[in-house]
Amino acid sequence: MDQKTVLITGCSSGIGLALAVRIAKDEKKRFKVYATMRNPSKSEKLAEAARRTLGRTLKIKQLDACDESITACVDSIPNRRIDVLSMHRF
């Protein structure tokens, strides 16, 4: 079974962070999670919570859902393929 590509916005805190970590820690490794946030310098909480999944089943990317960074982020994903999209903005 191929890994599903999951793009989650708003991962610096709250629901986005919790969802990214939960999916990345899937024991069967069914998902490759791209956890995004407007400001990657705020990724400490996510990196700490993700621990060993960081760089394996979870990657942190910069993305602001209100500007052109969307294109750059999607272009950086292999084959620009996203199977699951979860957007969180508060």
pLDDT per residue over 18-70, tens digit each?
999 999 999 999 999 999 999 999 999 999 999 999 999 999 999 998 899 99
Distance between start and end Cα atoms, the chain: 35
Assigned token pair, 55: 């760089």
With bands split at pLDDT 50, 70 and 90, how would you rate the model's confidence at 88?
confident
Cβ proximity of 65 and 58 under 8 Å: no
Distance, C-alpha 88 to centroid of its chain? 11
pLDDT at 5 over 60: yes
Annotation: CATH topology of 4-86: Rossmann fold (3.40.50)
Q: Give the residue extent of every domain in the chain.
A: 4-86
Name the 3-class secondary structure at 38. Answer: coil
- Predicted confidence (pLDDT) at residue 1 exceeds the cutoff of 70: no
Q: In whole angstroms, what is the distance from residue 10 CA to residue 90 CA?
A: 8
Element housing 72 (H / E): helix 69-75
